[in-house]
Amino acid sequence: MLAGFLLLCRALQAGESLADPAAWKNKQLRLNAILAILYLLVKFLPVELAPDDLDAIASSIALIGGLINSYLTVATSDKVGLCR
């Protein structure tokens, strides 16, 4: 598990350009759209949960999506990175 974490960190520092960046960015945009739809569904569908619970779930979806998207942006680009 530690080795996997170190690989993730090394990818953030090195960053490599993708062979087809346009295709990758389109996938990231689709992921963002899916997460936005999930967020809206959780917030506005009539379910038997307290409003605070719904807020926690929706916020978690947004947080996880933002973290994944940020990681993928940095790890797949040679233009941006944590140690630039």
pLDDT of the residue at 14: 57
Q: Long-range contact list for 79-84, CB < 8 A, 24+ apart? A: 79/15, 79/17, 80/15, 81/12, 81/13, 81/14, 81/15, 82/12, 82/13, 83/13
Percent of the chain predicted with pLDDT > 90:
0
According to DSSP H, which parts of the chain are helical?
Answer: 2-14, 21-44, 51-75
**Rounded-to-integer distance, Cα 32 and Cα 80, Å:** 20
Q: Tell me, rounded to whole angstroms, the distance of Cα 80 from its chain centroid.
A: 16
Q: What is the reported pTM? A: 0.57
